[in-house]
């Protein structure tokens, strides 16, 4: 789970830090962090997608928020798996004991003995 969270959060941190630094033109001498490259990247993405470049950052933010809810949901399901299954069993009236045999009807047994 730790590897999954690390692989999920690292691209978000990298993208967010690049976006923040390049948006405010804090380049530290690196061309990749300049505002010109920032505008060029979003212009290229906008042309590829056929949408205005100004609409891309809010779309990315919405995708990150959606993914965050999915990841948190998966974590909750993983940690509460036994409680969720117990609630489902109670809701449908299933037995909690898996070793309990399923009772067969007496009529099915009598028909089997006649055919043999």
User: Does a structural domain hold residue 62?
Assistant: yes
CB-based contact 8:19 (threshold 8 Å): no
User: Does a structural domain hold residue 16?
Assistant: yes
Q: What's the pLDDT score for residue 101?
A: 54
* Burial degree of 106 (CB within 10 A; 0-12, 13-18, 19+): exposed
Q: What's the pLDDT score for residue 9?
A: 95
pLDDT in tens, the chain (116 residues): 889 999 999 999 999 999 999 999 999 999 999 999 999 999 999 999 999 999 999 999 999 999 999 999 999 998 898 888 888 888 888 866 655 555 555 555 555 555 55
User: Does a structural domain hold residue 29?
Assistant: yes
Range of the domain at 35: 2-93
User: Does a structural domain hold residue 111?
Assistant: no
Into how many domains does the chain fold?
Answer: 1
d(CA 64, CA 66): 5
The residue behind tokens 């789970």 is 1
User: Does a structural domain hold residue 75?
Assistant: yes
Q: Locate 22 and state its tokens.
A: 């390049």
Q: What's the pLDDT score for residue 85?
A: 87
Q: Rounded to two decimals, what is the model's pTM?
A: 0.69
User: Does a structural domain hold residue 107?
Assistant: no
45's CB contacts (< 8 A; 6+ apart) are 53, 56
User: Does a structural domain hold residue 88?
Assistant: yes
Q: What's the pLDDT score for residue 93?
A: 85
Distant-in-sequence contacts of 74-80, Cβ < 8 A, 24+ apart = 75/1, 78/1
User: Does a structural domain hold residue 112?
Assistant: no
């Amino acid at each position: 789970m730790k590897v999954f969270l690390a692989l999920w959060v690292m691209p978000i941190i990298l993208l967010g830090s690049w976006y923040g630094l390049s948006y405010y033109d804090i380049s530290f001498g690196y061309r990749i962090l300049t505002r010109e490259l920032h505008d060029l990247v979003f212009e290229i993405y906008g042309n590829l997608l056929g949408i205005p470049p100004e609409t891309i950052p809010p779309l990315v933010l919405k995708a990150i928020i959606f993914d965050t809810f999915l990841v948190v949901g998966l974590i909750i399901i993983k940690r509460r798996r036994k409680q969720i299954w117990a609630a489902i069993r109670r809701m449908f009236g299933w037995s909690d004991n898996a070793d309990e045999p399923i009772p067969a009807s007496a009529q099915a047994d009598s028909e089997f003995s006649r055919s043999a």
